[in-house]
């Protein structure tokens, strides 16, 4: 070894979680070593959230041109230059990259090592020819696309999130394997940019969300011309001619059909990056879903925490950031901290968007027994009418005393709106708190308040309340 370092904290992985820990620790003057084997910024910046939202934005512009005549505006035929779409995606990544760069972190006082890290024993990590013996280790190595063992998959150049955004030509017919959030977001973006798109999903598309709300999104996607096959499994993949692919699928009824396309995107979930980390040598328990941690994110080796995607829970950038805060609280301030998954919102950035926080109807019934389910449709909102964004619904779940347990929204701007409800759920707010707040008119934010006050509607039908209201109307 050329060097032995003895920092307070050694972070493995320079993505959303690892960078947050390193930046926070350095800002408190703590000695930190950060090891990253690939691109700084990890999946989110380079192969995930950022490029996916950039291509979705390009698709939205194309779609806006198509919808413009409904507003009395004509912009002519949509033309997509895929090389320029590619430049757009990469210039967005380039604009954000300096925040996550080696230069910035070095300037913050972090020692950045650009190499692959591996535990050699319970107290030591090796990266290249440097040995690190830290007081605490934080493993934030993320996840990668899980590629299922489909017959013939290795014979085709299938795409994953790591290669999809490198393409600078239009895909003629994209076959997306997997109807989860990543698959559906990319299906719609590509459809709007002019590709034929078929999605093949073994179970239900967007199956982790409330089926009532997912149905609104799926109907819109189908209406845009995306073929979505649910309850259908891919049995074989093969090359077709020089540039084509053939995907053979089997329906629940056992019927086999061949779909001919030009490209395949595998979006069948994620696998935690645990391989080659020397976890056994360090006495860190793990399984296929990731490193096993308690609610305090500590692994079976007390010196080692695991955060973000590799910790096997919800896999989102804001979760990695949340985890980072919990770990910093424990390492730097020696304060206890526990993850609370019930307060984590998530958003699928299709159009309409699909957002959720807290308990869904089924989980709330199991946990709280008697619940109230409140709904309000976008079509009853003036702003949604003006924008012609009337496909949507908010659904709110409360306990019998009106405490907000969970909120799901399908519709325009759902991803922005869910933040207010995430605050409500995190602070155990009641509908009475919402009753007293005044949303600006005309905004789609009013939809949530309208749903909340439906809770009080049955009360106004009680005789004494009706008498009181009549009295107030007359003399109040
Ligand atoms: C297409 C797509 C779209 C997404 N969109 C969203 C979204 O809109 N919103 C959202 O919240 N989330 C989204 N996500 C999820 C989000 O990207 C992840 O949850 C987030 O990046 C997890 O952060 P992390 O720190 O755990 O891992 P990462 O950001 O992946 O960072 C892990 C880092 O560890 C490095 N590493 C791995 N092993 C080693 C090793 N042995 N030594 C050194 N370094 C190592 C890797 O190179 C990587 O840079 C999306 C993901 C994908 C794939």
237 close to 150: Cβ distance less than 8 angstroms: yes
What is the distance between the alpha carbons of residues 310 and 144, in angstroms, rounded to a whole number?
10
Ligand 1 binding pocket includes 313 (Cβ within 6 Å): no
Of the pLDDT bands very low, low, confident and very high (cuts 50, 70, 90), residue 462 is: low
Question: Binning pLDDT at 50, 70 and 90, where does residue 404 land?
Answer: very high
pLDDT higher than 90, residue 468: no
Q: Does the CB atom of residue 114 touch ligand 1 within 6 A? A: no
Residue 473 clears pLDDT 90, i.e. is over it: no
Residues 381 and 447 sit within 8 Å (Cβ to Cβ): yes
Beta strand spans in 307-433 (E): 346-348, 353-358, 371-377, 393-399, 404-411
pLDDT grade, residue 466 (50/70/90)?
A: low
Q: How far apart are the CA of 35 and the centre of ligand 1, in A?
A: 14
Looking from the CA of residue 42, the nearest atom of ligand 1 is 49
Residue pLDDT, tens place only, 175-199: 999 999 999 999 999 999 999 999 9
Ligand 1 pocket, 271 CB below 6 A? no
Residue 348, ligand 1, Cβ within 6 A: no
pLDDT score for 457:
79
Give the per-residue pLDDT at 233.
97
Q: Is residue 132 helix, strand or coil?
A: strand
Query: In testing the pocket of ligand 1, which one of 10, 11, 12, 16 has its CB within 8 Å of the most ligand atoms?
Result: 16
Question: Of the residues 19, 33, 44, which should be mutated to test ligand 1's pocket, given the most ligand atoms within 8 Å of the CB?
Answer: 44
117 lines ligand 1 (CB under 6 A): yes
Contact 55, 186 (CB under 8 A): yes
Quick: pLDDT tens for 291-305: 999 999 999 999 999
What pLDDT is attached to residue 321? Answer: 98
- Helix pair angle (446-453, 414-426), 10° resolution: 50
pLDDT digits (tens, 9 = 90+) for 44-58: 999 999 999 999 999
Q: Of all atoms in ligand 1, which is nearest to the CA of residue 141? A: 34
Ligand 1 close to Cβ of residue 140 (< 6 A): yes
Can you tell me which residue has the tokens 């003399």? 475
Residue 110, token pair as written in the block: 């972090």
* Mean pLDDT, range 129-157, rounded to an integer: 98
309 lines ligand 1 (CB under 6 A): yes
Q: How far is the CA of 65 from the centre of ligand 1 (A)?
A: 33
- Distance from Cα 16 to the centre of ligand 1, integer Å: 6
Which residues are CB-neighbours of 364 under 8 A, at least 6 positions away? 371, 397, 399, 405, 406
For residue 37, how far is the Cα from the chain centroid?
24
Does residue 459 have a pLDDT over 80? Answer: no
Instruction: State if residue 185 touches ligand 1 by the CB under 6 angstroms criterion.
Output: no
Ligand 1 proximity of 20 Cβ (cutoff 6 Å): no
Burial class of 67 by CB neighbour count within 10 A (0 to 12, 13 to 18, 19+) = exposed
Give the DSSP letter string of 168-233: -S--SEEEEE--SHHHHHHHHHHHHTT-EEEEE-SS-TTTTS-HHHHHHHHHHHHHTT-EEE-SEE
What is the spatial order of strands in the sheet that 111-113 belongs to?
Answer: 111-113, 32-35, 9-12, 136-139, 304-306
* pLDDT tens, residue by residue, 99-118: 999 999 999 999 999 999 99
Nearest atom, ligand 1, residue 116 CA = 42
Query: Could you report how far apart the first and last alpha carbons of the chain are, in Å?
Result: 83
For 461, which DSSP code? G
Q: Whose CA is nearest to atom 47 of ligand 1?
A: 38
**pLDDT-derived band at 75, boundaries 50, 70, 90:** confident
Whole-model pTM? 0.95
pLDDT value of residue 346: 98
Helix/strand/coil for 339: coil
Residue 458 confidence (pLDDT): 72
Taking 70 as the threshold, does the pLDDT of residue 472 lie above it? no
């Amino acid at each position: 070894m050329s060097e032995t370092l003895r920092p307070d904290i050694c972070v493995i992985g320079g993505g959303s979680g690892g960078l947050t820990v390193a930046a926070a620790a350095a800002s408190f003057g703590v000695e930190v070593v950060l090891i990253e084997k690939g691109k700084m910024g990890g999946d989110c910046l380079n192969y995930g959230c950022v490029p996916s939202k950039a291509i979705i934005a390009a698709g939205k512009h194309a779609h806006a041109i198509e919808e413009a005549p409904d507003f009395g505006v004509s912009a002519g035929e949509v033309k997509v230059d895929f090389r320029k779409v590619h430049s757009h995606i990469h210039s967005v990544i380039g604009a954000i990259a300096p925040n996550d760069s080696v230069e910035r972190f070095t300037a913050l006082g972090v020692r950045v090592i650009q190499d692959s890290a591996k535990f050699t024993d319970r107290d030591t990590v090796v990266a290249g020819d440097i040995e690190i013996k830290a007081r605490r280790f934080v493993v934030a190595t993320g996840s990668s696309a899980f590629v299922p063992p489909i017959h013939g998959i290795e014979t085709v150049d299938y795409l994953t999130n790591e290669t999809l955004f490198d393409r600078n030509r239009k895909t003629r017919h994209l076959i997306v394997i997997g109807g989860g959030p990543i698959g559906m977001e990319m299906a719609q973006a590509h459809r709007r940019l002019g590709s034929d798109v078929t999605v093949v999903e073994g179970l239900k598309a967007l199956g982790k969300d409330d089926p009532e709300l997912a149905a609104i999104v799926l109907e819109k996607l189908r209406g845009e011309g995306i073929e979505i096959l649910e309850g259908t499994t891919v049995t074989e993949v093969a090359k077709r001619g020089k540039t084509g692919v053939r995907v053979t699928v089997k329906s629940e009824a056992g019927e086999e059909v061949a779909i001919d396309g030009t490209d395949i995107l595998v979006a069948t979930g994620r696998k935690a990056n645990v391989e080659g980390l020397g976890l056994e040598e360090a006495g860190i328990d793990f399984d296929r879903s990731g490193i096993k941690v308690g609610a305090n994110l500590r692994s079976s080796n007390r010196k080692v925490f695991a955060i973000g995607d590799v910790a096997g829970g919800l896999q989102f950038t804001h979760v990695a950031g949340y985890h980072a805060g919990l770990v910093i609280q424990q390492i730097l301030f020696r304060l206890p901290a526990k993850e609370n998954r019930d307060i984590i919102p998530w958003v699928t950035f299709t159009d309409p968007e699909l957002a959720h926080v807290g308990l869904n109807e089924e989980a709330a019934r199991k946990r709280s027994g008697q619940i109230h389910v409140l709904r309000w449709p976008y079509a009853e909102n003036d702003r949604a009418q003006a924008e012609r964004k009337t496909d949507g619904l908010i659904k709110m779940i409360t306990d019998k005393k009106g405490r907000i347990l969970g909120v799901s929204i399908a519709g325009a701007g759902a991803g922005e709106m869910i933040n207010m409800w995430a605050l409500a759920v995190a602070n155990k707010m009641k509908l009475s708190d919402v009753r007293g707040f005044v949303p600006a008119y005309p905004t789609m934010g009013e939809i949530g308040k309208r749903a909340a006050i439906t809770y009080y509607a049955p009360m106004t039908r009680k005789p004494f309340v009706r008498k009181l209201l009549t009295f107030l109307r007359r003399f109040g």
